[in-house]
Amino acid sequence: MKQENKKSVWWKKAVGYQIYPMSFQDSNGDGIGDIRGIINRIDYLANLGIDFIWLNPIYKSPQIDNGYDISDFRNIDPIFGTINDFQELISKLHKKNIKLIIDLVLNHSSDQHYWFQEALNSKDNPYHDYYIWQDGVANTKPNDWVNWSGASEWTYYPQIRQWNYHIFNKRMPDLNWENGKLRKDLLLTAKFWLDMGIDGFRLDAISHLKKMSFNISMKSMRESGQDPWAVHTNVPGLENFLKEIKYAFSGYNIFTVGEASGITPGQASLWTGENGYFNAIFELDQNRHDGYDSKKRPKGNIQAFKKVIFNWETRLNIFGWLSPYLANHDNPRSQQVWGDNRSDSSAKALSLILLSLKGTPFIYFGDELGIGSKNFTSIEQITDPEAQIAYQKTKQEKGNIAKAFTDIANFNRDQGRTPFWWNENKNAGFSDGIPWLGISDGSQGRSAESQIKDPNSILNFYKKMIQVRKSSPSLNQGLFYPLSLEQDSTVNFLRQTNSQLSLVISNLSDTTTQIELPTSIDLDNWLQVIATRPTRLQRKMSLGPYQAAIFMKRVNG
Ligand code: BGC
């Protein structure tokens, strides 16, 4: 949205909601969610009380990586609809006071993009330098760089006798940010969407735009005790590109959130805030899912989770701005990793924590129903290309098909991408056709339609929690003070402004756990504003499995 007067910071008190478009609502029976499906569900979103949506890529794409491989930066993929549908979505969302941010993918394009097709014609083609190349012969890669799935970052193109560089899939060549014309062309495509009326961007893979010299080997980095991913993460000089991006957006009153892979809290306090490149960042430390083990409950190690969250919240308390989240399209569902993957109380406790953290929180679609991860039983059920590559690699190296499958069964990204549960009908009301990805178990009796009618449902708890956050200055603006620093599964903290104090207590485990509040906390005059079950505040108290509550009181600044 074009800036009119002074820029407002609407995003500071806002609650975001991430929609994975392929899985939200199919309107035409092809088994894939689409823009019309979202338009048909705007009332549901307005009722939930969220302020803005982050929509994963809907650009034209061969869908090698579910839309992150873009073949036309200025068009909508026909599986999702048309530009007209998209414009209708913006205007109908705005009528309900819901803003829209979309993914902006600046690090790479699809190999089917016109620029790349031109680049393959000859080294002299003007678009050749829009991508990253090294001369060479087949079978001798320019260096040993591999990506997170263990695959080489180089692909040979015999027609021009050159190796092409790509951090992600080989069908997603990296764009050459050293080329000023490329930068200009790319940022003009961003303006194209801003001028259409969107309200911001989630900047995909933004810490990878700059690469180190290709002479440096990952092996030597590892051997000298350095992080091997530093060859293409937050490389010095990146800041110039980020400044250019910020400048391109300066005329717009928008919200930008960067996917800050490999960025430390110290760096993030400069990346965001008053003079930062973006309004907020997503930290990726929590996605390590330390201690994650499919046989344990909760599957992730809550102490490790607490350490990560407390560290980020504390470090970005005064300078910088965080976007807390518990799950997204690249991870298993939060119910699976941090909850028990089934109970209402675990889903409610997680929402209570997420919506009490400092920053601009993002709810992952379906978490408000308690959707759990899907349990895949065969490799054929999994579409995630990263998981397929990792599976083939383990199979080849270890010759053990069962092991290869167990590894990816736990980590593949499809687990958290399954369709929404709209009602109790076929395919949980997601589609009349054959869903592109199977519905996860447990939808019966827990669809949105059923939960709307049940005052004690997870959905109604989310609605209430969103309202509690929005109406409480301590929760939407206050400073963050961690409490439970012990090595246990409780996550307790304070949020405070000059006039209000919130105390958040929770037990993210399957067993009853004792907590003891510090004597610095005066126990008088607290009001319980929301809880997974009624909780009496005491110095020493027992919290049952996934019991969580928020108490508030007025204070004099
Ligand atoms: C996105 C992934 C995607 C990758 C490449 C990530 O940051 O979240 O889903 O595969 O970027 O675009």
The structural domains of the chain, with segments of one domain joined by +, span 10-107+177-376+418-464, 114-165, 380-411, 478-554
The two beta strands, 52-55 and 99-105, are parallel
Q: Is the per-residue pLDDT at 438 higher than 80? A: yes
**Where is pLDDT greater, at 341 or 192?**
192
pLDDT value, residue 492: 97
Atom of ligand 1 minimally distant from the CA of 386: 10
Taking the centre of ligand 1 as the mean of its atom positions, its distance from the CA of residue 60, in whole angstroms, is: 16
Taking the centre of ligand 1 as the mean of its atom positions, its distance from the CA of residue 83, in whole angstroms, is: 23
Taking the centre of ligand 1 as the mean of its atom positions, its distance from the CA of residue 258, in whole angstroms, is: 12
Query: What's the average model confidence in pLDDT over 535-550?
Result: 97
User: Does the beta carbon of 367 lie inside 6 Å of ligand 1?
Assistant: no
Task: Identify which of 147, 168, 259 to mutate to test ligand 1's pocket (most ligand atoms within 8 A of the CB).
Answer: 168
Considering the domain delimited by 478-554, tell me its CATH architecture: Sandwich (2.60)
Taking the centre of ligand 1 as the mean of its atom positions, its distance from the CA of residue 204, in whole angstroms, is: 6
Query: What's the average model confidence in pLDDT over 322-336?
Result: 95
Contacts for 141 with CB less than 8 Å, ≥ 6 apart: 152, 154, 163
Contacts by residues 298-302 (CB-CB < 8 Å, ≥ 24 positions apart): 298/337, 298/338, 298/339, 298/340, 298/346, 298/489, 298/508, 298/509, 298/510, 299/336, 299/337, 299/338, 299/341, 300/337, 300/338, 302/338, 302/488, 302/489, 302/491, 302/508, 302/509
Q: Is the per-residue pLDDT at 411 higher than 80? A: no
For 227-284, write each residue's pLDDT tens digit.
Answer: 999 999 999 999 999 999 999 999 999 999 999 999 999 999 889 988 899 999 999 9
d(CA 298, CA 513): 14
Task: Identify which of 18, 166, 204 to mutate to test ligand 1's pocket (most ligand atoms within 8 A of the CB).
Answer: 204
Taking the centre of ligand 1 as the mean of its atom positions, its distance from the CA of residue 329, in whole angstroms, is: 9
Q: Is the per-residue pLDDT at 5 higher than 80? A: no
Which residues, in sequence order, are bridge partners of residue 482? 493
Contact 420, 23 (CB under 8 A): yes
Query: What's the average model confidence in pLDDT over 407-436?
Result: 93
**Where is pLDDT greater, at 304 or 348?**
348
Atom of ligand 1 minimally distant from the CA of 330: 9
For 10-26, write each residue's pLDDT tens digit.
Answer: 999 999 999 999 999 99
Atom of ligand 1 minimally distant from the CA of 204: 7
User: Does the beta carbon of 168 lie inside 6 Å of ligand 1?
Assistant: yes
CA-proximal residue: ligand 1, atom 12 (nearest): 68
Q: What is the CATH number of domain 10-107+177-376+418-464?
A: 3.20.20.80
Least confident of 159-163, 338-342, 521-525, 545-549: 338-342
3-class DSSP assignment, residue 128? helix
**H-type alpha helices, 205-301:** 218-223, 238-248, 265-271
Reported confidence tier of residue 396, pLDDT bands at 50, 70, 90: confident
Q: Which residues are part of the catalytic machinery?
A: 204, 259
Least confident of 100-104, 344-348, 481-485: 481-485
For 351-388, write each residue's pLDDT tens digit.
Answer: 999 999 999 999 999 999 999 888 888 888 898 888 88
pLDDT value, residue 4: 44
Q: State both tokens at 96.
A: 């309900």
User: Does the beta carbon of 204 lie inside 6 Å of ligand 1?
Assistant: yes
Least confident of 3-12, 163-172, 309-318, 451-460: 3-12
Mean pLDDT, all residues of the chain: 94
Q: How far is CA 464 from the centre of its chain?
A: 23
**H-type alpha helices, 217-370:** 218-223, 238-248, 265-271, 302-315, 334-337, 344-354
Burial class, 311, CB count within 10 angstroms (exposed 0-12 / middle 13-18 / buried 19+)? middle
d(CA 89, CA 68): 21
Taking the centre of ligand 1 as the mean of its atom positions, its distance from the CA of residue 178, in whole angstroms, is: 22
User: Does the beta carbon of 368 lie inside 6 Å of ligand 1?
Assistant: no
pLDDT value, residue 290: 76
Taking the centre of ligand 1 as the mean of its atom positions, its distance from the CA of residue 467, in whole angstroms, is: 31
User: What CATH class does 114-165 carry?
Assistant: alpha beta
Identical fold between 114-165 and 478-554? no
CA-proximal residue: ligand 1, atom 5 (nearest): 68
User: Does the beta carbon of 106 lie inside 6 Å of ligand 1?
Assistant: no
pLDDT value, residue 342: 87
User: Does the beta carbon of 205 lie inside 6 Å of ligand 1?
Assistant: yes
Distances (CA, A) of 500 to 313, 479, 484, 549: 19, 11, 20, 16
Reported confidence tier of residue 293, pLDDT bands at 50, 70, 90: low
Buried b (16+ CB within 10 A) or exposed e, 464-479: bbbebbeebebbbebe
Atom of ligand 1 minimally distant from the CA of 261: 7
CA-proximal residue: ligand 1, atom 3 (nearest): 68
pLDDT value, residue 297: 65
Reported confidence tier of residue 287, pLDDT bands at 50, 70, 90: confident
CA-proximal residue: ligand 1, atom 1 (nearest): 204
User: Does the beta carbon of 34 lie inside 6 Å of ligand 1?
Assistant: no
Reported confidence tier of residue 557, pLDDT bands at 50, 70, 90: low
Contact 478, 499 (CB under 8 A): no
pLDDT value, residue 1: 52
